[in-house]
C-alpha cells in the first residue's frame, strides 16, 4: 500500500509499505483523511529518517477513516464504523489509560505513539488498537474528523480547562490550526475572542472564524492593545498556541487580575517573574496537552451538534501522491489547516 515516508532533512516521499492485517483487539482502518500537524515538523526536518528501532515509520497522527476489518477479540466496533483515531496507546490498565489519557501511561514499555513508534495515518490503511477508536458523528465529514484528531480538539480541551463561558474576553495567541480552532470554538462558546498573530493572512482567517478583534503583534505590544480593548483590565482568559517565549509572556501579561491563562504551544523555554506577573495578580496558570479519548468524543459531538464550521479553516487538500509537496508548503508557514484526502 502507498504511504508517506520522512527520509530526513525535510525530504518526504510516497513509497510502498507492506499490506497489514489487524492483530488481537486491533482494527484495520481505511483512511479517508489525515491531517498535517505542526508537531510533525521535528520529525520532518530532523536530519535522520523517521525510524523506530531501525524500522521506517509512516507518519501522521491525525487519522480519520472507516473500519474495514476486525482482528480477534474486538468488542464494541464493527466493519463500516466511521472513526477518529486517538494517536496514543498505553497499557490499557493503569488509571490514566482507563480514563482515556493513554498519553499519560506510566508503563513506559507499553506506551506507543502512532506516527512515531507505530505506523500512523499517512497511508492508504493503518491498524490501531480498538481502545484508540473514537466515533465520528455522521454530521461531521472525514476531513474535519482529521482536524479534530489533534489540532482542533487540543484547542477545545484547553478552552474547557479555561472554563470559557458567555461574555468572557478570550485572547488567543497564535492563529495556526490550533489557534484558529480556539478562535472558532471560543466564539461558539460565547466569548469575545481577540486573535493575536503577526501574519495578516492568519489574522484575516481569524476574523472570518469569528474573532471579535484582531491584533498584529509585530511590535510586541499585544498586552497594551488588549488592555485598550478591555477598558484597561485585560482579558478574562488567554490561550497561548504559538510555543514562543514572547507570546507566553504576552499571554500572561494580557490577562486581567483573577484571570486564567493556558499554554498549549510546545517546546522552548520561558522566564516569568512570579510575584508581579502571577502571584500578585491572582493569576491561574494552566497547561493543557492534547486530550483524552473521552475529550475527543466530546469535541466531535460538540462540532456536530453546534455545526461548528471547522472545514472553513482547511486551506489545503492534497492526495497522498501530493503529500510531499503539501509538507513543503506547510513547513514554510502557509496558513490554515492542511489535510490529505482519499475521497
Domains and their CATH numbers in the chain = 2-150+291-341 (3.90.180.10), 152-287 (3.40.50.720)
- The pLDDT > 70 percentage for the chain reads 100
In this prediction, residues 289-315 reach a mean pLDDT of 98
In this prediction, residues 174-195 reach a mean pLDDT of 98
CA distance 4 to 154: 24
**Taking each helix axis from N to C terminus, what angle separates 177-188 and 151-161, rounded to the nearest 10 degrees?**
50
In this prediction, residues 279-290 reach a mean pLDDT of 98
In this prediction, residues 165-180 reach a mean pLDDT of 97
CA distance 19 to 13: 18
User: Using 50, 70 and 90 to split pLDDT, how confident is the model at 108?
Assistant: confident
Query: In 10 A of CB 276, how many CB atoms?
Result: 10
Cβ proximity of 226 and 215 under 8 Å:
yes
220-246 pLDDT tens trace: 999 999 999 999 999 999 999 999 999
SS3 label, residue 125: strand
Query: In 10 A of CB 18, how many CB atoms?
Result: 7
Q: Which residue has the higher pLDDT, 8 or 268?
A: 8
Indicate whether 54 pLDDT > 90: yes
109-156 pLDDT tens trace: 889 999 999 999 999 999 999 999 999 999 999 999 999 999 999 999
Cβ proximity of 78 and 70 under 8 Å:
yes
194-210 pLDDT tens trace: 999 999 999 999 999 99
β-strand pairing of 255-263 with 337-341 = unpaired
Q: Given CA atoms 278, 281, 282, 285 in this order, what sign does their dihedral have?
A: negative
- H or E segment and range at residue 205: helix 200-208
User: Residue 266 is placed in which grid cell?
Assistant: 510546545
Q: What is the pLDDT of residue 313?
A: 98
Q: Which of 174, 128, 182, 131 is nearest to 153 (CA)?
A: 182
β-strand pairing of 169-173 with 192-197 = parallel
Indicate whether 86 pLDDT > 90: yes
Phi, psi of 135 (to 5 degrees): -60, 135
In this prediction, residues 304-329 reach a mean pLDDT of 98
Cβ proximity of 28 and 72 under 8 Å:
no
Cβ proximity of 149 and 296 under 8 Å:
yes
* Alpha carbon separation from 220 to 215, 225, 259 (Å, rounded): 10, 10, 21
User: Using 50, 70 and 90 to split pLDDT, how confident is the model at 171?
Assistant: very high
Predicted structure pTM score: 0.97
Q: What is the pLDDT of residue 343?
A: 85
CA distance 278 to 207: 30
CA distance 252 to 262: 9
Cβ proximity of 52 and 39 under 8 Å:
no
Tell me the HSE value of 326 on the side-chain side, using a 13 A CA sphere.
25
Place of cell 498505553: 90
CA distance 251 to 269: 15
CA distance 22 to 51: 21
Indicate whether 58 pLDDT > 90: yes
* Mean pLDDT (the chain, rounded): 97
Q: What is the pLDDT of residue 26?
A: 98
User: Which segments of 46-176 does DSSP mark as H helices, in order?
Assistant: 95-98, 142-148, 151-161
Amino acid at each position: 500500500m502507498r504511504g508517506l515516508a520522512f527520509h530526513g532533512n525535510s525530504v518526504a516521499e510516497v513509497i510502498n509499505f507492506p499490506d497489514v492485517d489487524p492483530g488481537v483487539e486491533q482494527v484495520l482502518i481505511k483512511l479517508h483523511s489525515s491531517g498535517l500537524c505542526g508537531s510533525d515538523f521535528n520529525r520532518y526536518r530532523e536530519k535522520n529518517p523517521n525510524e523506530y528501532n531501525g524500522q521506517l515509520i509512516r507518519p501522521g497522527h491525525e487519522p480519520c477513516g472507516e473500519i474495514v476489518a476486525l482482528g480477534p477479540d474486538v468488542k464494541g466496533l464493527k466493519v463500516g464504523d466511521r472513526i477518529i483515531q486517538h494517536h496514543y496507546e498505553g497499557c490499557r490498565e493503569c488509571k490514566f489509560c482507563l480514563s482515556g489519557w493513554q498519553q499519560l501511561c506510566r508503563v513506559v514499555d507499553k506506551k506507543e505513539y502512532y506516527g512515531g513508534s507505530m505506523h500512523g495515518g499517512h497511508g492508504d490503511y493503518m491498524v490501531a488498537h480498538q481502545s484508540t477508536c473514537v466515533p465520528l458523528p455522521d454530521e461531521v465529514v472525514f476531513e474535519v474528523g482529521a482536524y479534530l484528531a489533534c489540532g482542533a480538539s487540543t484547542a477545545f480541551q484547553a478552552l474547557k480547562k479555561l472554563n470559557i463561558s458567555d461574555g468572557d474576553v478570550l485572547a488567543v495567541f497564535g492563529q495556526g490550526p490550533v489557534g484558529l480552532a480556539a478562535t472558532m470554538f471560543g466564539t461558539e462558546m460565547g466569548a469575545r475572542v481577540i486573535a493575536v498573530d503577526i501574519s495578516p493572512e492568519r489574522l484575516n482567517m481569524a476574523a472570518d472564524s469569528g474573532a471579535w478583534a484582531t491584533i498584529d503583534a509585530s511590535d510586541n505590544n499585544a498586552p497594551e492593545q488588549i488592555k485598550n480593548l478591555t477598558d484597561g483590565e485585560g482579558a478574562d482568559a488567554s490561550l497561548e498556541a504559538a510555543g514562543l517565549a514572547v507570546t507566553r509572556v504576552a499571554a500572561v501579561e494580557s490577562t486581567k487580575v483573577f484571570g486564567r491563562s493556558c499554554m498549549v504551544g510546545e517546546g522552548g523555554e520561558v522566564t516569568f517573574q512570579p510575584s508581579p506577573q502571577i502571584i500578585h495578580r491572582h493569576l491561574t496558570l494552566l497547561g493543557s496537552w492534547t486530550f483524552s479519548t473521552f475529550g475527543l468524543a466530546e469535541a466531535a459531538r460538540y462540532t456536530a451538534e453546534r455545526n461548528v464550521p471547522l472545514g472553513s479553516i482547511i486551506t489545503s487538500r492534497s492526495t497522498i501522491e501530493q503529500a510531499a509537496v503539501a509538507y513543503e508548503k506547510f513547513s514554510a508557514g502557509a496558513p490554515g489547516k492542511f489535510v490529505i484526502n482519499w475521497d
